[in-house]
Amino acid sequence: MIGQPLLATQGLTARYGDFQALFGIDFEIDKGEVVALIGANGAGKTTFLKSLMGLVRTGDNMIRFDGVPTSGLAPHQIVKKGIAMVPEGRRLFAGMSVEDNLLVARDHGRRLPEGGRGWTINRVHDLFPILRDKRHVPVESLSGGQQQMVSIGRALLCQPRLLLCDEISLGLSPLVIREIYAALPTIAAEGTAALIVEQDVGLAQSASSRLYCLLEGRVTLHRRSADVDRAEITKAYFGASEHAMA
């Protein structure tokens, strides 16, 4: 990777009390890049995302965003820095309309960049047109795929430079998954990097430029997505001690 990455971790460790969940994670993502993070259940993928968001305590100087350490910052401070998360399970505000869910993010996220386009509710509607039609509908009455679109739109309205996506295809039909993943190139074209945690290896590979695999809290594979084959991924998933770098 040429120049300073947008976000980098070095020797990242994370714990839940006495239980150590991550062991020495080295990771980088550049502006406008889409990177996939794969691994079996319990591999540490969600913990890694939570560490980046300040939801899990990490050591000093283990995470740098734009070259500046973020360890120790509260989640709302990290959002203000330019990182937003689409959590597993969506976690929308029940009893509120689609529009109100989006307005919460618009009013409490980062301000629109000066001189830049940024994300507005109209632009979210352009990305996911069904949300314009459903804007006054309570979110709990939407389909799972539509709720996921609201969750992504809500994160984008925080004006992130890095979007963290945790299992955004989980429980959705293949047609809806294709529609949601088709939005990623548009998001990346705005200069917003995306880190996608994904169980579907083929989907992760096709949607990303680079791929990391975690096993028991350690990186077991890092390659360009187009260059890695299924045999390498299988070894990384199930315990081979293989560390590859493109």
Q: Domains plus CATH for the chain?
A: 7-90+160-238 (3.40.50.300)
Q: Which residue has the higher pLDDT, 108 or 192?
A: 192
Least confident of 1-10, 61-70, 129-138: 1-10
Percentage, residues of the chain above pLDDT 90:
68
Task: Pull the structure tokens for residue 196.
Answer: 């996608």
Position 198 scores a pLDDT of: 92
pLDDT of residue 241: 46
Q: What is the mean pLDDT of residues 229-244?
A: 76
pLDDT confidence bin for 66, thresholds 50/70/90: very high
Q: What is the pLDDT of residue 113?
A: 58
Rounded Cα distance between 24 and 115, Å, is 39
* pLDDT tens digits along 195-205: 999 989 999 99
Lowest mean pLDDT among 83-87, 156-160, 203-207, 242-246: 242-246
Query: Which of 44, 64, 72, 62 has the alpha carbon at shortest distance from 166?
Result: 44
- For the chain, what's the residue count? 246
Mean predicted confidence (pLDDT) in 49-69 = 93
The predicted-structure confidence for 140-186, as pLDDT tens digits, reads as follows: 999 999 999 999 999 999 999 999 999 988 888 899 899 999 999 99
Q: What is the pLDDT of residue 197?
A: 95
* Claim: this prediction has a pTM higher than 0.85: yes
Burial category of 38 from C-beta neighbours within 10 Å (exposed 0-12, middle 13-18, buried 19 and up) = buried
User: What are the CA-CA distances from residue 177 to residues 47, 96, 150, 209, 221 (Å)?
Assistant: 24, 24, 14, 19, 25
Tokens of 12: 């990242």
Would you say residue 67 has pLDDT above 80? Answer: yes
